[in-house]
Chain A
Amino acid sequence: MHDADAINLATLPPRQLKEFLTNTVRPDDGFIPAYIFSHPVIHQLEMEKIFMTQWLFLAHESELPKVGDFVTRDLGGHSVIISRGQDNQVRIFLNMCRHRGMRLCRDDRGNEGAFHCPYHGFTYSNLGLLTGVPFQRDIYGDGFDKQNFGLIQAKVEIWAGLIFGTWSANPPSVKEFLGPMAWYLDLVVNRAEMEVTGPPQRWVVNASWKLGADNFVHDSYHTMYTHASIAKLGMVPAADYSKQGYQIDCGQGHGLNFGTPTPDFIFPQNLMDEYRSRLTSEQFSALSTMKNMIGTVFPNLSFLISATTFKGSRISNTTLRTWIPKGPGQVEVLAWVLTERNATPEWKEASLQSSMFTFSPSGIFEQDDMENFIDITANSRGALPLRDNIAFAYLAGLGRQPVEQFPWPGTAYDSKFLEHNARSFYRAWLKAVTSGGE
């Protein structure tokens, strides 16, 4: 008897690759194969089918308060400039001169009326128009129409201060894309006037982007063991602190865990009127009973509202992060901290500090999470996972009935220690990577 050969994904024709994916990625049965977390063919497929087509979060509007402000980010593997033009409109430009493809802007952020290409000095306004070509008449005569060489733009939509971009030619509206998730995302970024506390942290680790998104979309179960040190330090009352609440499936791969009940209101008390005026009464009641909340907007935007005891008092912090694929099994994390604009400076400072102490490269939660993501990614590499079809178990809550007459949007399950949302995430993932091409 011979051992089976490991299947070579790189030489599979598209139709067979699709078949292989459908046969091995089995969210309905609760099995997710290891190879999808690091295989180069999968990475390529994801970049093409997911990151070139979906709405992706790029920046918060408060990062671009003034006309001329810009930041540079990654959209689907391409460097883009997110610019607030002279006309106050936010646009997304491919960071590439139309003449020879040179990168126009090397800064992470700044304020510019125009972008000058370092190569030949082509100049573009912050509206994306080509406005200057050195010696244009001498060199090109009449044969060059600047109007044809404006910067390449991605589609942009701002939803509750979140700047989303996409390379898709015909995207749905962001509201449509979010579906029931919009109601919960309101609690994160729209409960009050929110602003970033500063530029995002950025770091690169050898882990699959999916493991971060997967963890945030469903996994409160890991907190008991991975984060056992936090309970030991007294920052949360007990290791199973994060069990109680709901796992809520918002469709299209979006999902969250809503921790409740709470012993106290975890947001600035002096802003009650603002919360009441911006939220519906159902949303306000959700906010009042929230202990914590964590989730993922498919594919790679995750959010967290976390409340811990820090320096003697209970304080919550709100963070957004994106998991940007950098290569097979490599991810760049961008992490922002948001606070209520009208909170007291003391509250803002304490919230920011508690966030950096828990969720950041030095954060005492985050650093242990990354260990998991890195080691799982390492184990997913090589021939064995493919040859023997090694799959991970996402079985918790399989067949469980949702909460009847749940008052909020989405499909809710009682308890956060479930793997339902992960199954939905990989269902959306499978649908995306096997779409088109017939």
Chain B
Amino acid sequence: MERLLLQYEVEQWLYREAEYLDHLDFQSWLALMAQDVVYQMPICMNVADTRSAQDYSRETFIFNDDRNTLQMRVDRLNTDFAWAESPPSRTRRLVTNVRLVEVEPEITVLCNVLIYRSRGADIEADLISGERKDVLRREGDSLKLVRRWFLIDQTTINTRNFAIFV
């Protein structure tokens, strides 16, 4: 029962986070981050000898951020010169297959994410698919993101940039 409640709580947290990002409410989104958050997205590669898992680079990242740089990205989006998101993309984050991996001392959760992104009047939307591995920590009444690991299902990125968050 406790596990069920936790599953529900984590799912609601993930949905709320997606909502903040889709609704461009970046201040509320930043408030979900722990002060020591590590936010990473490595590049993926085609390598034959890793049969059991997707191969990703240990060295090359698209995001390798902390609380400070996430704040800078949000500050930048709030200037009048963030051309890459001016006007902002329309995004919709579908978060599914939520799996609790560990619950103590911190919560490790896997989920699948599909981000639909439409820019301007372009009729061709970008689809960004991937798996997240998140670590959440209880701080007071709320859960904070301590670590995000986004494994993208693509070796060659076909969205024009990552001016959006994953």
In the bound complex, how far is the Cα of B65 from the Cα of A311, in angstroms?
Answer: 11
Known: A228-B81, A232-B81, A233-B72. A199 touches B161 (CB 8 A): no
Q: Does B84 contact A (CB under 8 A)?
A: yes
Known: A232-B76, A368-B83. A361 touches B60 (CB 8 A): no
B24 to chain A, nearest CB (A): 16
Among B72, B76, B157, point to the contact of A204 (Cβ < 8 A): B157
B76 touching A229 by the CB < 8 A rule? yes
Segment 103-136 of A: residues with Cβ below 8 Å from B: 106-110
B161 touching A232 by the CB < 8 A rule? no
A353 touching B157 by the CB < 8 A rule? no
- Interface 0/1 of A294-315, CB less than 8 Å to B: 0000000000000000010000
B69 touching A110 by the CB < 8 A rule? no
In the bound complex, how far is the Cα of B49 from the Cα of A69, in angstroms?
Answer: 14
Q: Does B3 contact A (CB under 8 A)?
A: no
Chain A residues within 8 Å of B58, by CB: 198
Among B63, B73, B84, B159, which residue has the most Cβ atoms of chain A within 10 A? B84
Among B47, B72, B160, point to the contact of A108 (Cβ < 8 A): B47
A311 touching B68 by the CB < 8 A rule? yes
Secondary structure at the B interface, as helix, strand, loop or mixed, is mixed
- Interface 0/1 of A182-201, CB less than 8 Å to B: 00000000000000011111
Chain A residues within 8 Å of B69, by CB: 311, 353, 357
A77 to chain B, nearest CB (A): 15
Chain A residues within 8 Å of B109, by CB: none
Chain B residues within 8 Å of A198, by CB: 57-60
A4 to chain B, nearest CB (A): 29
- Interface 0/1 of B145-156, CB less than 8 Å to A: 000000000011
Q: Does B15 contact A (CB under 8 A)?
A: no
Among A199, A233, A337, which residue has the most Cβ atoms of chain B within 10 A? A199
Q: Does B9 contact A (CB under 8 A)?
A: no
In the bound complex, how far is the Cα of B162 from the Cα of A370, in angstroms?
Answer: 11
Segment 36-79 of B: residues with Cβ below 8 Å from A: 41, 43, 45-49, 57-65, 68-69, 72-73, 75-76, 79
Q: Does B82 contact A (CB under 8 A)?
A: yes
Segment 122-161 of B: residues with Cβ below 8 Å from A: 155-161
Chain B residues within 8 Å of A356, by CB: 61-64
Q: Does B114 contact A (CB under 8 A)?
A: no
Q: Does B30 contact A (CB under 8 A)?
A: no
Across chains A and B, which 4 residue pairs bring their CB atoms closest together, nearest first?
Answer: A198-B59, A367-B161, A362-B162, A203-B157
A-B contact pairs, 12 of them (CB 8 A): A108-B47, A110-B47, A198-B59, A200-B60, A201-B60, A203-B156, A232-B76, A233-B72, A233-B75, A356-B62, A357-B72, A368-B81
Q: Give me the interface of B with A, judged by CB distance under 8 Å.
A: 41, 43, 45-49, 57-65, 68-69, 72-73, 75-76, 79-84, 155-163
